[in-house]
Structure 1
């Protein structure tokens, strides 16, 4: 990741300072929580996509910094709310907001982050960027609800699966790339192109996550977490499509009724491996990656484009 950050190192450093300023509050408890959030930040992948898209398509501007902050504010807000919904006590090996300050405070913190993001854009007339990102948040909610609906019946077809991950996972990454391009150029065609690029990378990213559940690429033992949570991922969907009626009924029965039984979950994992579900998912992941690369290569070669190419490779080759 060092080479990825190299062309935007100064921008990322300045972004961190601006982001800290943007979340500051005069409320002592809220300000303490904001400092806690900043300390436990992740890899900052989404700001990286914003800045690289801006540099590839044009020039980084103040609007680019605001776009990065908006993406990070809304992304963080959704994570805080997700932890409440999932009753999760950990996030990135840190205690979650709801674990430390309880659910009511966590919900209000998420609302605060959302409002700060909206005001940051509105106060600076970044209406196009706000529309790009707000559309992504709407799609994320729709994708999550669609997944919940389909999980009850375990009847997800491949096209529905792709609609879920396009909305739930890929939409925010697509908006990060599109917002970066718009902030640098104000060009609708370049913005559309980068939106499509980010969407394809987001889909590849989610398929890679699907593969982790099966211990793919020597990352360790299979976890079966998605099966335990009744999530219908691409390797499992493919297996059900290929299976005979008896095997299909067996898999659905285990996922519905014995998803906490380690031995039975391992049985499903083995059936997925034997059916070619993992190979099929990997093939799809790489196909989306190549489509994204083809879009990226419509821009001239540059240090930023090379860094973006490496970031794309990271998405499908990462070990966690």
Structure 2
């Protein structure tokens, strides 16, 4: 879309670096979350324990960095290095908030911007940067990536209440004490006694299947899902708006299709 269909070796290297970094982050995430399944199959840490998983993640991370260094793609390396830093900060912030459960929507959006949207933003930025030095275009694509990344994460959070999450059982976020948007909205918009019950459920009964189901039902009844869906569509529409800067083309149409897929997908 940025270069009217023309790509070069830097484009392919940028895509390869992103994939290596992304895979490394998923392997490390499974260690941090003590998750034994990844997309319906055993995770690396489940098969070969945490030590091997951490080392494999580190190896992939270093391979990605070296790929940029070996070809002097230092501008691309700067983008991905910033993304890795922000992803780590987001994970640490989420762990901190999971301990205290003192999270509002502003903090939630800060977490998902760093944890998820920053990587998708880096994808868009590197794609643009690989074929164009126009800073305005790069900034447009960077913003686009953040917007669609946030919509993507909200959709992922909604799966915890739908039973359609591939490879992860319903209620897994509650089990891991992750404060997602539907839950945050419900906690901040219910009676004091109900708020106390919710927080106690997450802190002490997060592995009780019956209690988790009750929490899920309560969140649904109190409009937590509706609120999250509304926010998701707001970010989707902002992402579509961002593309208006570019002329119509098959590439632009593909991105528009991707945006719609992000919010309509069922897994």
Look up the match of 1:109: 56
Within a 5 Å distance, the mapping from 1:10-159 to structure 2 comes to 59-159=6-106
- Distance (Å, rounded) in 2 between the aligned partners of 1:248 and 1:266: 16
Pick one of 206, 223, 227 that aligns with 1:276. Answer: 223
Please say if residues 227 and 265 of structure 1, whose CA atoms lie closer than 8 Å, have aligned partners that are also in contact. Answer: yes
Distance 1:120 1:54 in 2: 24
Of residues 93-102 and 160-169 in structure 1, the stretch that sits farther from structure 2 once superposed is 93-102
Deviations 1:72-115 (A, max 9, x none): 01111111222233333332233322333333232222222111
Structure 1 residues 118-152: Cα deviation after superposition (integer angstroms, max 9, x where no partner): 11111111111111111111000000000000111
Contact 1:83 1:89 in 2 (8 A): yes
Provide the alpha-carbon RMSD of the alignment: 1.9
The SS at the match of 1:60 is: coil
In the alignment, does 2:233 pair up with 1:291? no
Change (3 A) 1:119 1:227: same
Tell me, in whole angstroms, the C-alpha distance in 2 between the residues paired with 1:264 and 1:79: 29
Deviation (angstroms), 1:294: 0.5
Cα separation, 2, equivalents of 1:62 and 1:166 = 29
Q: Which residue of 1 aligns with 2:196?
A: 249
1:184 aligned to which of 131, 134, 149: 131
TM-score (norm 1): 0.79
The aligned counterpart of 1:10 is none
Question: Which of the residues 102, 112, 120 maps onto 1:165?
Answer: 112
Q: Secondary structure at the match of 1:246?
A: helix
Residues 279 and 55 (structure 1 numbering): CA distance in 2 closer, same or farther, change over 3 Å?
Answer: farther
Cα distance, 1:194 vs. partner?
A: 0.5
Instruction: Give TM-score, length-normalised by structure 2.
Output: 0.94
| CA apart distance, 1:55 | 5.1
Matching residue of 2:142 = 195
The aligned length equals: 265
In structure 2, the gaps of 5 or more residues are: none
CA distance in 2, matches of 1:237, 1:66: 39
Counterpart contact for 1:154–1:252, Cα < 8 Å? yes
**Which residue is 1:4 aligned to?**
none
Query: Structure 1 pair 227/218, CA: closer, same or farther in 2 (3 Å)?
Result: closer
Alpha-carbon separation, structure 2, partners of 1:253 and 1:113: 40
- Contact 2:113 / 2:146 at 8 angstroms: preserved in 1? yes
